[in-house]
């Protein structure tokens, strides 16, 4: 039997075979029907994954709201359409794997509609969810870029409107996104081995960053604002934030071994900062372990984490952050497919 494949259901439909297929789909899909079990049974996990990766999105979240007329002026200050929009995808879409991975990414790159300020909040969330869902099978570095320029994230972690330091008043840049980008989204609090275990020094975990790194990184996330000033429609919420040179910190910054020379514009500073974080040694084990926990098991073995992190670091063709390769590695790993282990745990 090829690695990662589950054999077809026996002719007599034995419960054990069907249970194996059902368990796989419980990890890989947000919901499924008996027909989906049959689809996997007629091929293999790898065949099913390949087909799912190839499926186009049936409808984007933003398009659902527009088609439903939720951009009517009466909805400027409410959340109308949000619940229907989310459930329409989760319950009605055939791209089962994308829905599952999208939710896993939202659990990591958290934004909540109740934490948003301003107008057209349902549309702000729609645009943000589209970033996650559109990048679910892409590259993690592109996901980092999309999230870091999304209006919803700018609102939720308060760096939309963030301005450079003012020596006269003593004001300093908002540090919220700079901190959470490191702590929650990329490298975590402590240095990690490739298997997700903590690096220790004198028996204690080694921090990945200190406050000075946060303060320096915060300079990168200044100058961000809406793409335009038109608020009569929600359309600007779908556009990436732009960077205002007048409020962006153009001085040099240095954090985590990343140096951003003075005089760079906002886009260049962002690219250098995100590239530096993306290539940090913690990213493969930190991100891989979280995805395993959201998709398969809350307590993966270090060996499982290391196998997936190795694929994150290099998909076999020299590409780092290949989400298709990472998802495949998670769902086809021996630990994920170990039925005996699942029953024992």
pTM above 0.75, yes or no: yes
Give Cα separations from 103 to 7, 97, 100, 150, 160 (angstroms): 28, 10, 5, 17, 24
CB 148 within 8 A of CB 243: no
Query: What's the confidence (pLDDT) of residue 341?
Result: 59
Short-list 123, 62, 136, 127, CA closest to 95: 136
In the chain the first and final C-alpha atoms are separated, in Å, by: 25
pLDDT at residue number 2? 40
Q: 46 near 2, Cβ under 8 Å?
A: yes
Determine phi and psi for 26, rounding to 5 degrees. Answer: -65, -25
Q: pLDDT value at position 13? A: 40
Give the angle subtended at the CA of 27 by the CAs of 24 and 31, to the nearest 5°: 95
Let me know how long the chain is: 345
Enumerate residue ranges in the chain where pLDDT < 70.
Answer: 1-16, 341-345
pLDDT the model gives residue 12: 40
Please give the structure tokens belonging to residue 202: 């004198």
DSSP 8-state code for residue 115: G
What pLDDT is stored for residue 289 in this prediction?
98
- Rounded to the nearest 10 degrees, what angle do helices 302-313 and 283-295 cross at? 120
Q: Which of 215, 150, 206, 153 is nearest to 184 (CA)?
A: 153
């Amino acid at each position: 039997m090829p690695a990662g494949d589950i054999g077809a259901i026996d002719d007599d439909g034995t419960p054990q075979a069907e249970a194996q297929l059902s368990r796989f789909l419980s990890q890989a899909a947000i919901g499924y029907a008996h027909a989906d079990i049959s689809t996997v049974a007629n091929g293999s996990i790898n065949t099913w994954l390949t087909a799912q990766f190839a499926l186009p999105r049936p409808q984007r979240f933003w398009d659902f709201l527009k088609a439903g007329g939720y951009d009517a002026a009466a909805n400027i200050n409410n959340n109308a359409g949000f619940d229907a929009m989310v459930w329409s995808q989760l319950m009605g879409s055939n791209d089962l794997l994308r829905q599952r991975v999208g939710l896993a990414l939202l659990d990591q790159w958290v934004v909540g509609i109740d934490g948003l300020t301003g107008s057209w909040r349902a549309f702000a969330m729609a645009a943000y969810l589209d970033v996650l869902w559109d990048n679910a099978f892409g590259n993690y570095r592109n996901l980092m870029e999309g999230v870091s320029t999304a209006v919803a994230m700018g609102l939720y972690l308060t760096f939309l409107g963030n301005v450079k330091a003012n020596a006269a008043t003593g004001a300093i840049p908002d540090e919220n996104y700079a901190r959470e980008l490191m702590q929650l989204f990329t490298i975590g609090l402590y240095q990690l081995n490739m298997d997700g275990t903590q690096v220790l020094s004198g028996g204690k975990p080694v921090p990945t960053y200190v406050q000075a790194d946060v303060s320096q990184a915060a300079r990168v996330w200044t100058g961000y604002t809406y793409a335009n000033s038109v608020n009569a429609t929600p359309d600007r919420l779908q556009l990436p934030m732009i960077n205002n040179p007048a409020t962006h910190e153009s001085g040099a910054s240095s954090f985590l071994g990343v140096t951003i020379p003075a005089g760079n514009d906002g886009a260049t500073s962002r690219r250098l900062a995100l590239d530096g974080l993306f290539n940090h040694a913690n990213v493969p084990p930190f991100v891989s372990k979280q995805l395993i926990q959201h998709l398969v098991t809350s307590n993966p073995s270090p060996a499982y984490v290391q196998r997936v992190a190795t694929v994150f670091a290099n998909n076999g063709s020299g590409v780092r952050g290949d989400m298709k390769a990472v998802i495949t590695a998670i769902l086809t790993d021996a630990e994920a497919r170990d039925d005996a282990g699942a029953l024992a745990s």
